[in-house]
Amino acid sequence: MHKIVARNKQVHIVEEAIPKCKDNYILVKTMHSAISPGTELSMLESSKEEAFTMGYSAMGVVQAYGDGITDVQQGDLVACYGAPYVHHAEYLLVPRTLFTKVPANIDPKEAALAGLGAIAIHALRIANLQFGETLVVVGLGVLGQMVAKIANAAAYNVIVLDLSEERASMLKEPTIQSFSLTAEMEKEINKATNGHGADAVLLCAGGKRSSLTHESLNWIRNKGKVVIVGDLEPNFPRNLMFSKEAELLISRAGGPGRYDEVYESLAIDYPYEFIRWTEGRNIAEYIRLISEKRINVKPFVTDEINFFDAPVEYEKLKDKQSITLTKIINYKV
């Protein structure tokens, strides 16, 4: 089979053997996978001599399943998430905790975004907002826009900001207030909250030395929250944090279970009654949202590319002025 790897800041397509199925795992023949530009371009830029696989969000057809798998059959469509099990490759060996079945009414390309959906859902769970509260989303890449759409579906009061006017105008949701100028966004926050400030700010932007972590404290109410979702280096002045008794939170990937060898590699799920929302259950929740048409992610799946064209397409994504949110890789040759 073929897969996409990064080595020495370049993208390559390499060959390796198709993995063999084993207990508590399924073997998936990939139909589509989604490029996450923010994460993957950062990894690409830091890549060295040793190659590593790219990607973490995909969907495909179940080819085989091992003992312990009871919820899918051969030929079923599944969405899956989580490197190193899920990446841009023609076949994937996925533990039972990292996939969910895809209903027939879902566009397969939309299902390929399940990893991004799980990350967005987990970020909102970390914010722990209540019905009707005001949320500010900063950074409108694919993850920021996904967060905003899901928050809007949950009936939060959603205000979004991206310094790119093109990206700020992409969110065509009538109940989301979108801005490219910080001053205008601040006026809307004051208006929407009667001067109290937002209940939470989710920082979905990148940039190690960004001033956003500092500025965001001015936008929240007393005892408000700032959640770091993107690749930002925290820089919070103590005085402002102290005066507002603000909460600083970091959202790590798709939810409980991520990076836990017992949950992922050994495929042992957490008890439902103790950990309600694992990364696997967040994947399933994203699929429910698009199946029931609670959110519209069609604008994210318009840029479809052939698997073997991926190295060239990564080069195009390096253009910082591009408004491309993601590219969906098609494995049909």
Q: Under a CB-based contact definition with an 8 Å cutoff, are residues 157 and 131 in contact?
A: no
The pLDDT of residue 333 is 56
Q: Around 192, how many Cα atoms within 13 Å sit in the side-chain half-sphere?
A: 25
Q: How confident is the model at residue 321 (pLDDT cuts 50, 70, 90)?
A: low
Percent of the chain scored above 70 by pLDDT? 97
- pLDDT per residue as tens digits for the range 91-134: 999 999 999 999 999 999 999 999 999 999 999 999 999 999 99
Residue 84 phi/psi, 5-degree rounding, is -90, 10
Domain ranges for the chain, please list them.
Answer: 2-113+256-330, 122-250
Q: Taking residues 22-28, what's their average pLDDT?
A: 98
Q: What is the pLDDT of residues 67-87, one digit of tens each?
A: 999 999 999 999 999 999 999
What is the side-by-side strand order in the sheet with 2-7?
10-15, 2-7, 52-53
Q: Could you tell me the fold of the domain covering 122-250?
A: Rossmann fold (3.40.50)
CA distance from start to end of the chain: 13
Q: What pLDDT, on the 0 to 100 scale, is given for residue 105? A: 97
State whether residue 18 is helix, strand or coil. coil
pLDDT band at 324 (very low <50, low <70, confident <90, very high): confident
Residue 328 has pLDDT above 60, yes or no: yes
pTM to 2 decimal places: 0.95
* Separation CA 149–CA 116 (nearest Å): 12
List the structure tokens of 183.
Answer: 């001053």
- pLDDT band at residue 212 under the 50/70/90 scheme: confident
Q: Which residues contact 279 (CB under 8 A, 6 or more apart)?
A: 81, 82, 97, 98, 118, 122, 253, 254, 255, 256, 257, 258, 263
Dihedral sign computed on CA atoms, order 92, 50, 204, 303: negative
Beta bridge partners of 25: 95
Please give the full DSSP string across 164-209, using - where no structure is assigned.
-HHHHTT---TT-EEESSHHHHHHHHHHHTTTS-EEEEEE---BTT
User: Which of the four pLDDT bands, split at 50, 70 and 90, describes residue 209?
Assistant: low
Tokens of 210: 């960004």
The pLDDT value recorded for residue 19 is 96
Question: What are 145-201's pLDDT values in tens digits?
Answer: 999 999 999 999 999 999 999 999 998 889 999 999 999 999 999 999 999 999 999
**Which option is the CATH number for 2-113+256-330: 3.90.180.10, 3.40.50.280, 3.30.230.80, 3.40.710.10?**
3.90.180.10
Give the per-residue pLDDT at 214. 86
pLDDT one-digit tens code per residue, 278-300: 999 999 999 999 999 999 999 99
CB 114 within 8 A of CB 300: no
According to the model, what pLDDT value does residue 95 have? 98
pLDDT in the model for residue 60: 98
